[in-house]
Amino acid sequence: MTEKTGSLRHDYLRHDKKFPHVWCPGCGNGIVLGSLIRAIARLGLQKDELVLAAGIGCSGRMPVYVDFNTLHATHGRALTFATGIKLARPALTVIIVMGDGDATAIGGNHFIHAARRNLDLTAIIINNQIYGMTGGQYSPTTPYGSFAATAAWGHIEHAFPIAELAATAGASYVARGTVYHAAMLDDLLAGGIARKGFSVIEVMSNCHTQYGRRNQMNDAITMLRYFKEQAVAVDRAAGMSAAEMAGRFTIGVLADVEKPNFTEEYQKIRDRARQQ
């Protein structure tokens, strides 16, 4: 049995006035929030050492519920605000929660450059494959051939693989999990927060209200079963052919490399400049 959520919700959440939360029944955002507080408890981080920043969207509500230093930024700009916080106060642990649209569409350029810059941040990207809050328009991660409010005849574009994009752009730690594999998600989040450098954890999450409803997955249970069946562990995927992997996705740690990160390098520059 993993860490208990039971007592943690009293320790880490603003449980006395903000609950039950605003998300739909069965929404994966709640599962990600639970995983996040368990990962933080495992690492033994204090609430005052933490910053949780978020942009706009359903996931943007997450900072409201946690009792850390929190920030609700403009659409797609959560990473830029977080960059400012980390440079001003390097001792803080900065975590960013974004949706797939927030991270890869509106904030797409910030995202790839944050990965390239390798600042010591942890970005959690909740990928529900749609713009859920605004009414189910297709997002950059909506799969080819699926249906959305703005793709009534089937989607003709192809989806961004967020985790692979982050790894290519230079992130230190890249992982993908699902809300079904919640115990594994605890490990991935803890690994990402502990890793110095830019960490990206993509979480495949269910939006049965907007995405599932239009794609024969009407409730949270069906979508969680879908994640259970479609997810393939990284080491098992290595032995599978492209045809077997069609429509499926890998879960686990995709990249974990040690390289100089911006926060430490910048401190070295400051120290050198001070000596001269």
Partner 1 sequence: MTAAARGKRGRRFGQTIFYDWCKACGICIAFCPQQVFRANDQGKPLAARPEKCTGCGFCEIHCPDFAITIVECPELRRKEKSCDHDSLEGS
Point out which residues bind partner 1 (CB under 8 A). 1-2, 4-7, 9-10, 13, 15, 19-21, 23-31, 34-35, 38, 179-180, 182-183, 186, 219-221, 224
Minimum distance from residue 41 beta carbon to partner 1 (Å): 13
Which helix (H) or strand (E) segment holds residue 265: the answer is helix 262-275
Minimum distance from residue 197 beta carbon to partner 1 (Å): 28
Minimum distance from residue 13 beta carbon to partner 1 (Å): 7
Identify whether the C-beta of residue 202 lies closer than 8 Å to the C-beta of residue 176.
Answer: yes
Identify whether the C-beta of residue 29 lies closer than 8 Å to the C-beta of residue 4.
Answer: no
Contact partners, residue 172, CB within 8 Å, separation at least 6: 118, 195, 196, 197, 198, 199, 255, 256, 257, 258, 259, 261
CB atoms within 10 A of CB 116: 14
Minimum distance from residue 205 beta carbon to partner 1 (Å): 10
Q: Is the Cα dihedral 209, 214, 218, 219 positive or negative?
A: negative
DSSP, residue by residue, 136-166 = -B--TTPPTT--BTTBTT---S----HHHHH
Q: Which is nearer to partner 1, 150 or 230 (CB)?
A: 230
Q: Which is nearer to partner 1, 109 or 218 (CB)?
A: 218
Minimum distance from residue 266 beta carbon to partner 1 (Å): 38
Q: Which is nearer to partner 1, 16 or 271 (CB)?
A: 16
Minimum distance from residue 34 beta carbon to partner 1 (Å): 6
Q: Which is nearer to partner 1, 35 or 261 (CB)?
A: 35
Which helix (H) or strand (E) segment holds residue 78: the answer is helix 78-88
Q: Which is nearer to partner 1, 106 or 220 (CB)?
A: 220
Which helix (H) or strand (E) segment holds residue 9: the answer is helix 8-12
- Position 52: which residue type? L
Q: Which is nearer to partner 1, 120 or 187 (CB)?
A: 187
